[in-house]
Amino acid sequence: DLAAPRGGARVSIEPPSAHLGAIVAGGDFFPTFDAPAPPPISHAAFARGSAIETSDSAPLLIDVTPMSLRIETVGGYSDVLIQANSPVPCEKARTFLTASDNQTVVYIRVAQGESARFAENTRLGELELSGLKPAIRGEVKILVTFELDADGILNVRAKDKDTDRETKATMRLLGTSTDVAEVTAMEQRQARHVVA
Measure the CA–CA gap between 194 and 196, rounded to whole angstroms. 7
Give me the pLDDT at residue 90, please: 94
Q: Which pLDDT tens digit goes with each residue over 34-86?
A: 444 445 555 555 555 665 555 555 666 678 888 999 999 999 999 999 999 99
78-123: pLDDT as tens digits? 999 999 999 999 999 999 999 999 999 999 999 999 999 999 999 9
DSSP state at residue 113: S
Q: Rounded distance, CA 81 to CA 124, Å? A: 14
Binning pLDDT at 50, 70 and 90, where does residue 180 land? low
If pLDDT is split at 50, 70 and 90, which confidence band does 195 have? low
64-192: in CATH 2.60.34.10: yes
How high is the pLDDT of residue 169? 93
Q: The pTM is what?
A: 0.61
Under a CB-based contact definition with an 8 Å cutoff, are residues 94 and 156 in contact?
Answer: no
pLDDT tens across 4-15, in order?
A: 555 444 444 444
Tell me, what amino acid is at 86? S
**For residue 31, is the peptide bond before it cis, meaning its omega torsion is within 30 degrees of 0?**
no
Cα 156 to the chain's mean position, in Å? 10
**Strand pairing report for 166-172 and 153-160:** antiparallel
Q: How is the chain split into domains, by residue range?
A: 21-53, 64-192
